[in-house]
Amino acid sequence: MAKLNWLLRGMTIIFVTLALATGGALLARDSGVGIFPGLSRGAASAAPLLSGGIAFLILQLIIRARLKDLLKNVLLAATFILWGIVQLIPQNFLSIRLGNVVVPLFVLDLAWATMSGVNSPPRPTCSSPQSQADCGGSKAALKETVQTTPD
């Protein structure tokens, strides 16, 4: 099991790195820098979406989230992957339809995340005395730390 987790973590890191690199390359390409001149615009746009979606999908195998969170995360990963696929398809009826599916999927995921945040209890602030334990200790311990810290 440890080897599988190690492999999954490695794959996730590779795909995240690929997503960031290809996203940066896409921005550079659009700003006029001649990165990957032979690569089609669709492939350049699809690469960060596909690799980011795949990385997030693999991550779900590692974190073993609760079912509700797993469904939300798989929906988000699948939406990115679908959006990447749409970038690779020549613009036609199918690609337009699939593109129109991606938009409500992103809106659904954003609404789901927003409503989860709205319905969760607020986190205590570190400035209130009753929340000092949540923020790293008591006021006395914090005061002592500040007083003993060398300049």
Query: Average of pLDDT values for 113-128?
Result: 78
* Residue 145 pLDDT: 46
Cα dihedral: 37, 43, 49, 50 (round 10): -130
* Residue 136 pLDDT: 60
pLDDT at 146 over 60: no
Per-residue pLDDT reduced to its tens digit, 68-87: 899 999 999 999 999 999 99
| Residue, of 54 and 30, whose pLDDT is higher | 54
Expressed in angstroms, the distance from the first to the final Cα of the chain is 48
pLDDT at 67 over 60: yes
pTM of model > 0.85: no
* Residue 132 pLDDT: 56
The Cα–Cα gap between 94 and 150 comes to: 66
Per-residue pLDDT reduced to its tens digit, 12-43: 999 999 999 999 988 888 787 766 677 788 88
Max Cα distance, the chain (Å): 69
Task: Please answer whether residues 56 and 75 qualify as being in contact, where contact means their C-beta atoms are separated by less than 8 angstroms.
Answer: no
